[in-house]
């Protein structure tokens, strides 16, 4: 086992902070790494909550200013798990301080921010990666392998959905993900970004133009606990939802495939259904994250057959359990941290890069512009 250590500093401790911490804690127990991570410090705005998170999640220290994390000599890696409105400032500062940076998706809240982050990454000595974790679900990594091997032939259709339902209740409060100033967009940038990246990754080609519609079904929501608006309103009141609840779009890929995409938080009964199907001239594949250990494959003109992706020679699986035992959501993050640490240790460039994140950001922007302009077909800048 390598004795090279990299100090890690994390910004944020909510859902993504928890699942990234799980990955930092476990990665060295299951994968041989060129460098060993040391969970040095976690940053959050609330001193009490961050200290509790450090204790629970396994960080040596807790601070309330991310700039302290970026400035520490014993921090080599900065992991950004904050809302999208802070990604650019933190990532650019960390890269300029010579740190390696992994940043949660989407890369930024705008193309301009994503361009600045990509330029900073290109000029930096540190490695950088966007945390599109679903690329590292074994079945999705296997799907990419099948397409790369030509098993599907020429890709004609890419059909992608990301279906959730956590805000169907109109009394769900106005959390930061429902505010454009914090999140940049709604279902589109949060879960639509995932299916854009996963579709482009598996198909090996990217979107060159889209036509879209978006909708906000619930336009006013109760103000969230702890929000400035709640205090100002005397403890009650509502605020406007300023992002999309659902985004649907069609698109053309650079290799000629046609794409249909649906990202919604109003698919009642669907909890985390990231679904992708590719149809090619020789065969097809289909994946549903809610059955993440399976890949359905059609070859030789036969109908779809179920492939259990739990064999030791399937991507990442050999490090875990015997066939048939299965992996979960959190394993996709451990896989991405393992690949990030391998890139740091070997001097390779991690993927998806910030440039890959910028490509997704340009699609998000084209979708929003198309939807705002009566679904006009918008070319995606290369």
Q: Which positions touch ligand SOE (CB under 6 A)?
A: 15, 190-191, 272
CB of 208 to ligand SOE, least distance (A): 25
- Report strand pairing: 305-308 vs 294-299: antiparallel
- Residue nearest to ligand SOE according to CB distances in the complex: 190
Nearer to ligand SOE, 175 or 307 (CB): 175
CB of 191 to ligand SOE, least distance (A): 6
- Report strand pairing: 258-264 vs 155-163: parallel
CB of 379 to ligand SOE, least distance (A): 27
CB of 256 to ligand SOE, least distance (A): 29
Nearer to ligand SOE, 272 or 375 (CB): 272
Q: Which of 267, 283, 247 is nearest to 375 (CA)?
A: 247
**With contact defined as beta carbons under 8 Å apart, do 229 and 241 qualify?**
no
CB of 44 to ligand SOE, least distance (A): 18
**What gap in Å lies between CA 277 and CA 152, rounded to an integer?**
11
CB of 267 to ligand SOE, least distance (A): 12
- Torsion angles phi and psi, residue 68, rounded to 5: -65, -40
> DSSP assignment of 77-106, as one string?
EEEE-S-GGGHHHHHHHHHHTT-EEEEESS
Nearer to ligand SOE, 147 or 183 (CB): 183
**With contact defined as beta carbons under 8 Å apart, do 111 and 365 qualify?**
yes
Q: Which of 215, 222, 221, 193 is nearest to 266 (CA)?
A: 215
- Report strand pairing: 258-264 vs 246-253: antiparallel
Nearer to ligand SOE, 191 or 344 (CB): 191
Nearer to ligand SOE, 214 or 298 (CB): 214
Nearer to ligand SOE, 113 or 190 (CB): 190
Nearer to ligand SOE, 116 or 274 (CB): 274
- Cis before 352 (ω within 30): yes
CB of 122 to ligand SOE, least distance (A): 25
Angle, helices 138-148/193-203, rounded to nearest 10 degrees: 40
Torsion of CA 341, 347, 351, 355, to 10 degrees: 130
């Amino acid at each position: 086992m390598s004795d090279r250590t990299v100090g890690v500093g994390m910004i944020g401790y909510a859902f993504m902070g928890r699942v990234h911490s799980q990955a930092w804690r476990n990665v060295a127990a299951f994968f041989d790494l060129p460098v060993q991570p040391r969970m040095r410090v976690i940053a959050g705005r609330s001193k009490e909550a961050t200290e509790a998170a450090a204790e629970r999640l396994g960080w040596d220290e807790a601070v309330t200013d991310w700039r302290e994390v970026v400035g520490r000599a014993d921090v080599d890696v900065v992991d950004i798990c904050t809302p999208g409105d802070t990604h650019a400032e933190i990532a650019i500062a960390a890269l300029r301080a010579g740190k390696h940076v992994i940043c949660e998706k989407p890369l930024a809240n705008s193309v301009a921010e994503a361009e600045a982050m990509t330029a900073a990454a290109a000029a930096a000595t540190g490695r950088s990666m966007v945390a599109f974790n679903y690329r590292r679900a074994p079945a999705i990594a296997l799907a990419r392998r099948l397409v790369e091997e030509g098993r599907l032939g020429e890709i004609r259709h890419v059909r992608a959905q990301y279906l959730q339902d956590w805000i169907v209740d109109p009394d769900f409060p106005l959390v930061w993900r429902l505010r454009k100033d914090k999140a940049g967009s709604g279902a589109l940038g949060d879960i639509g970004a995932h299916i854009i990246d996963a579709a482009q990754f598996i198909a090996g080609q990217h979107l060159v133009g889209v036509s879209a519609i978006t909708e906000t079904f619930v336009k006013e929501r109760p103000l969230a606990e702890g929000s400035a608006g709640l205090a100002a309103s005397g403890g009650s009141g509502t605020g406007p939802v300023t992002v999309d609840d659902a985004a649907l779009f069609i698109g053309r890929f650079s290799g000629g495939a046609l794409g249909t995409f649906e990202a919604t938080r109003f698919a009642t009964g669907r909890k985390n259904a990231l679904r992708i199907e590719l149809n090619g001239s020789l065969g097809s594949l289909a994946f549903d994250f809610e059955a993440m250990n399976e890949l359905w494959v059609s070859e030789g003109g036969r109908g779809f057959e179920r492939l259990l992706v739990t064999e030791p020679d399937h991507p990442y699986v050999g490090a875990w359990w015997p066939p048939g035992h299965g992996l979960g959501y959190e394993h996709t993050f451990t896989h991405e941290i393992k690949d990030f640490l391998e890139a740091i240790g070997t001097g390779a460039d991690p993927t998806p890069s910030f440039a890959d994140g910028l490509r997704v950001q340009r699609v998000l922007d084209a979708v929003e512009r198309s939807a705002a302009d009566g679904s006009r077909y918008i070319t995606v800048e290369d």
